[in-house]
Chain A
Amino acid sequence: MGIRVTSRGMQTTVQDKGRTGFQRYGFSVSGAMDQIAFKLANSLVGNDPDEAVLEMALMGSSFIFTDETVIALTGADCQPLLNGKAIDTYRAYHVEKGDELKTGPMGDGIFSYIAFAGGLDIPKVMSSYSTSTRFNIGGYRGRALEEGDHLNFKHTDISFNQIIGRNISTFLESISSGPDNIRVIPSSEQPALTDVIRESFYSQKYTISSKSDRMGYRLEGKRIEMDEQISVISEGTVWGDIQVPPDGQPIILMADRQTTGGYPVIGTVCSVDRSKLVQCSPGTEIQFTQINVEEAQTLFIKQKNWLKLQQERLNDLAFQSKQSGEVSGVQARNKIDDLIDIVKDSSFTQFSYSDKHIKLDIDHESVRVQSKESTNQPEDQ
């Protein structure tokens, strides 16, 4: 059992990290538009970060649960209501059979994600859960969800009690470049794109067009005038490529992009700005600035490390997890060391932990570990 769709929303699809490995055959990657929000949704409910989730675009769907589970919503704020009561995004909630989840228009972005403890029980097609609506493959019957659809949850061994209430409240700001600034790694060797054209591209603001979709974000701005004589022989595309078609209005290639393209590419959006860009709603004004590959990669790795730290933090804060309930000796010592590291890296000012074996007090000045093993053995006998 799982979840039944009671209202379809705008376009709600099953997505994961994407269908990689088939671009050489002309098959698009697809996958979650906002890869960070998607991974965090999974981590919040104790899943592998690459489990299938639901992606809702612009206008949320509504659901009735036909089974108990734990859910978390991430990405744009879709104003979720659980049985009529407002709930937070980036927090894991327990839901019972018969509960109703309603989501509405997105407030601060355009893509929201819902993860379910254990994931969705959906067959992988070409190694991925992602829905390709262009080719009607993958996800739930190769299409966006409709009213009445029922999706099953996978069986899971996750203990719901250990994940309920998990949340993420701190976000990495140090890698950001301001809300409307998108950083681009310039292309080289494009005869159609002169220095004058490039200068104009970086000096003006562009508006994201309402004709944008999961394939590409179309931009509206001053027309780029190119020499029509210069044609480009088709070549492989990558996420974030900014194509300049003959009408002079750039298109940024997104998750459902075609695998090859024959328009000149002025540059490629850096990976670290992906989530920010995909969450820009139509009408948003953006400005491009240049970044070099090395700097972009340093920031991207920093972002990935932050993501890993969040995942570890979520997993370790459920301290009495499957294994740790009974750990002892060296294993316990490592566990405590891990916990100390996590607390020091996080924004907590103070942390206390106590169980039948140990009492732990951590603050920014000191760490106090007190073993209870020798003193109070009879307590639990």
Chain B
Amino acid sequence: MSEPSIVPAGDCALRVVFDNKIDPSINQLVNSLDKKLTELSVPGVAETIPAFRVLTVLYDPEITDLGILSEAIRQLLSDQNEMDSREKRVVHIPVCYDRSFGPDLEELSRHSGLSIEEIIAVHSGRDYLIYMMGFLPGFAYLGGLDPSLHIPRLDTPRTSIEAGAVGIAGSQTGMYPIASPGGWRLIGSTPVILFDPNRSEPFLYEAGDYIRFEPVSREVYDQIKADCREGIYKYQVTMEVDGGGHSGNQ
């Protein structure tokens, strides 16, 4: 891995640019630096936008400047190992893979040669790293979809996909936090409200977290949906040691 470069992005931001590829270990460097910048509240840093291989750092030029901030970031990068934690934050997302929510399940079954039960087992059988958020509020770019589930987008996008829809596009899987047109192949739906502007924490997860899809029946889906509407649903988030078991509940 080569040394990241720090380049200006206008006069109120800079970009810390890591190796030019989509890779969990590169993304880990972005997220680790992001956490340190946030936790240490470096003077002048206003906001950060973590992405696949680039951390965009917005700053106030009245408080700091490119030179001072670059130096502070270089220092944090060299301290890389001290604060790095092996713990990962896992956000549990219940998904109902009912046919009514997954109009493209059969097409995916034909395309992959897997039964629908197998598709569900594969899709919910691993944790997905959030590389970046963007495109829509609360939309997570997830890495790590099993190659057996890769499938091209629809030729003609649907004019509206409901909030909560879970789908696949090419080599990516994802969830729609708000209703939007889209060409994703839909395989299920989550009853949890992924983005609620009036909730104290409008978003449930951020870049660097992991998403774990947990299959639920239609009945459980309906119950969770009702609980969410009443504001009594307990969102499941666990801190886990990489490769290890549960170490906490929230």
Contact = CB atoms under 8 A, between A and B. Distances in A.
A3 B194 CA distance: 36
A23 B49 contact: yes
A321 to B, nearest CB: 27
B138 A25 contact: yes
Given A24-B207, A26-B135, A293-B66, A233 B47 contact: no
Given A24-B133, A126-B197, A126-B202, A238 B21 contact: no
A14 to B, nearest CB: 15
Contacts of A22: 137, 202-203
B127 interface: no
A185 B54 contact: no
Given A137-B197, A189-B7, A271-B10, A27 B137 contact: yes
Contacts of B53: 233, 235
B11 A24 contact: no
A296 interface: yes
A238 B56 contact: yes
Contacts of B22: 233
A25 B11 contact: no
A185 B11 CA distance: 7
Contacts of B61: 297, 300-301
B134 A260 contact: yes
A300 B7 CA distance: 19
A187 B9 contact: yes
Determine which residue in B13, B20, B178 has the highest number of CB atoms from chain A within 10 A of its CB, and name it: B13
Interface residues of A, number: 42
B137 A24 contact: no
Determine which residue in A27, A235, A237 has the highest number of CB atoms from chain B within 10 A of its CB, and name it: A235
Contacts of A20: 46-47
A26 B47 contact: no
A268 B58 CA distance: 13
A304 B61 CA distance: 11
B47 A235 contact: no
Contact of B197 (A125, A185, A238, A293): A125
B83 interface: no
A309 to B, nearest CB: 14
Contacts of B186: none
A45 interface: no
A41 B195 CA distance: 33
Nearest to B136: A26
A161 interface: no
Contacts of B123: none
B17 interface: yes
Interface in B1-46: 5, 7-13, 15, 17, 20-22, 34, 46
A49 B34 CA distance: 30
A297 B65 contact: yes
A188 B134 contact: no
A69 to B, nearest CB: 29
B198 interface: yes
A260 B207 contact: no
B11 A293 contact: yes
A54 B132 CA distance: 33
A192 B78 CA distance: 30
Contact of A260 (B47, B48, B132, B198): B132
B54 to A, nearest CB: 4
A111 B198 CA distance: 29
A259 interface: yes
Contacts of B15: 235-236
B172 to A, nearest CB: 12
B10 A26 contact: no
A135 interface: yes
Nearest to A137: B197
A240 interface: yes
Nearest to B15: A235
Determine which residue in B9, B15, B46, B53 has the highest number of CB atoms from chain A within 10 A of its CB, and name it: B9
Contact of A238 (B12, B20, B137): B12
A135 B11 contact: no
B50 interface: yes
Contact of B49 (A24, A233, A297): A24
A305 to B, nearest CB: 9
B52 interface: yes
B149 interface: no
Given A258-B134, A259-B134, A238 B202 contact: no
Determine which residue in B12, B48, B53, B195 has the highest number of CB atoms from chain A within 10 A of its CB, and name it: B12
A236 B56 contact: yes
Contacts of B203: 22, 25
A21 B5 CA distance: 24
B9 A238 contact: yes
B56 A235 contact: yes
B62 A301 contact: yes
A128 to B, nearest CB: 10
B51 A241 contact: no
Contacts of B56: 235-238
A125 to B, nearest CB: 5
Determine which residue in B8, B10, B12, B56 has the highest number of CB atoms from chain A within 10 A of its CB, and name it: B10
Interface of B: 5, 7-13, 15, 17, 20-22, 34, 46-56, 58, 61-62, 65-66, 132-139, 141, 178, 195, 197-198, 202-203, 206-207
Given A235-B54, A236-B49, 5 more contacts: A25-B195, A137-B197, A234-B141, A260-B135, A268-B10
17 contacts: A23-B47, A24-B48, A25-B195, A25-B202, A26-B137, A135-B178, A189-B17, A233-B22, A234-B134, A235-B49, A258-B134, A258-B135, A265-B9, A268-B8, A268-B9, A272-B11, A297-B11
